[in-house]
Amino acid sequence: MSIHHRSRSRNVLRAGVIPAALLMLGVMVWQGSTAAFTATTGNTGNTWSAASLTLTNDGDVGTFQAGTTAIFATGGTSNISVPQKTNFLIPGQTGTKCITVKATGNVPGPVLFNVSNLVTTPAPDLTGSLTVNVQYGPTAAASDAAAHLACDNWIKSVAPLSAPASATTPATPTGVVAVASGVLSGLSTTGVSTGWTTAGTATGEWGLFLIQWTLNSGLGNTLQGGGAGAAFNWSQTVGT
Amino acid sequence: MDGEDDPDEGASSPPTGFLWWLRFVGSVLGRFWLTLVIGGTLIATLPAALPGWSAYVVKSGSMEPKIMIGDVVIVQRRSDYTDGQVVTFHNPALEGALTTHRLVSIHGDSVTTKGDANVSDDPRTSVPSDIVGLGRIKVGWIGLPMIWLQQHHWVPFLLFWLSVAGAVAAWRSDPELIPHQPRHARARTARV
């Protein structure tokens, strides 16, 4: 009796599929093992992350933000007795505020200061007649509140009438550095040294900046009704 | 070929139509799948019988993408380890649990480890005696049915076993399968 013979090619397929599967399994295990263990020995898991530099300031109100509301503002109607309000200025008038800058980077670096966004309106332009004096005062304060209080106390020691009620003990920081001084239009719009180099403390370190303005005396009537404006900036750059 | 007409030889019928080929292809795929499952299981389990070797099913994704959940990691005990190696160790932060992570540093009695997928080092350092072994062999996916069983994911667990049963059935439905014959039947055939 003769039976149907299974085709040779189908038999090859039947016989070959098992070693093919085993070969595939072996390759998969080999590749998976080398990828997971061998090829990576000693030199994987390297990561790079850029250092961070973060500056915030409290705008003289004790709450730290990257950008804060102007410390000198022309709000209100008539307030000669409140020097922080800067409307209806008369020649010789002066005002003082203190901004606390907080650095929370993780690398050390110098802090620079500049002014920007000069406003020369309403005409006539006052930026050439408004003298601004910026000073840096180091502080060993270890908290936002302590640094803010030190700032207020500095105002009280320099300009008692301008000091906010929160100021308790007048005190001028030791090691005060003159950062910028002159008429507003003459202040640097690119960063100048403040004398403050941060240590790179992630939990924060603080610098005090006293800003005084004076509308120059001896001005003629031509400046009546004039205006001026500016932004104060602190910056920190490390590396090239 | 008169055998073609012999109903007794039905298991060895010649190619006839789509269904015949479907059964043939199915049987080949069934063999393939069974070989992968059985072979993978053997590769994942047999090395652990060697002295100093042990095998573990990975239950979390902290080493992804290199080691995924359900992979089997086979480790070998060593006398010393170096930074960067993947090791399985008794995790001091997880009582009674073993963890497979990469060695960040091993200095004296302090072993710092980290999962590749984790941002930071493991919260607690280990000691060298905590280390069970160095990762040597990884068998992907083969431990997934065990994970599904432990985590009560019954649908994939049942689908897996259905696929195994289906592969056996497909293999046995080979239209040219040579049936197993009892001894007396073969003797009768021989007589003819």
Interface test with A, best of B9, B35, B58 (most A CBs within 10 A): B35
* Inter-chain touch A37–B63, beta carbons under 8 Å: no
Q: Which residues on chain A are in Cβ contact (under 8 Å) with B41?
A: none
Q: A12 to chain B, minimum CA–CA distance in Å?
A: 11
* Predicted local confidence at residue A121, as pLDDT: 77
- CA pair distance B91, B114, nearest whole angstrom: 11
**Does residue A236 contact residue A53 with C-beta atoms inside 8 Å?**
yes
Give yes or no for a contact between A214 and A114, defined as CB atoms under 8 angstroms apart.
no
Tell me the percentage of chain B whose pLDDT exceeds 70.
86
Picking from B2, B4, B84, the nearest residue to A41 by CB comes out as B84
B139 and A36 within 8 Å at the Cβ level: the answer is no
ipTM for this model: 0.77
Q: Kindly identify which residue of chain A lies nearest to residue B36, measuring between CA atoms.
A: A21
Euclidean distance between CA atoms B143 and B71, whole angstroms: 6
Mind giving me the DSSP string for A66-134? SS---SSB--SS--TT-TTB-SS--TT-EEEEEEEEEE--SS-EEEEEEEEEEE--SSSB-TTTEEEEE
Mean pLDDT of B130-156: 92
What pLDDT shows up at residue A95? 82
Distances from the Cα of A109 to the Cα of A190, A210, B170, angstroms: 17, 21, 72
CA distance A2 to chain B (A): 6
Q: What is the pLDDT of residue B186?
A: 52
Per CB-CB distance under 8 Å, the chain B contacts of A10 are 24, 176
Residue of A nearest to B176 (CA): A6
Test B31 with A44 for CB contact under 8 angstroms. no
The reported pTM is 0.49
* Residue B154 structure tokens: 């019954």
Q: Which of B9, B39, B136 sits opposite A37 (nearest CB)?
A: B136
CB contact under 8 A, A41 and B40: no
Crossing angle of helices B17-45 and B154-172, in 10° steps, is 120
Q: Which of A2, A9, A10, A25 to mutate to test the interface with B (most CBs of B within 10 A)?
A: A25
Name the 3-class secondary structure at B57.
strand
Residue range B3-27: average pLDDT? 69
- B39-82: pLDDT as tens digits: 999 999 999 999 999 999 998 888 888 899 999 999 999 998 98
Interface probe for A, chosen from B100, B176, B177 (most Cβ of A below 10 Å), is B176
Mean pLDDT by 10 residues, chain A (240 residues): 66 90 89 66 43 69 75 54 60 85 85 84 84 93 91 90 84 92 90 89 89 83 79 78
Report phi then psi at B69, rounded to 5: -60, 135
Supply the pLDDT for residue A42.
38
Which residues in A lie closer than 8 A to residue B192 (C-beta atoms)? Answer: 1
Residue A237 to chain B, least CA–CA distance (Å): 26
The C-alpha angle with vertex A103 and arms to A97 and A104, in degrees rounded to 5, equals 145
B96 CA to chain A: closest CA distance, Å?
24
| Cα distances (angstroms) measured from residue A7 to each of A16, A87, B5, B6, B126 | 14, 104, 18, 18, 62
pLDDT given for residue A105 in this prediction:
78
Element (H, E) at B95: none
- From A54's Cα to the closest Cα of chain B, the distance in A is 21
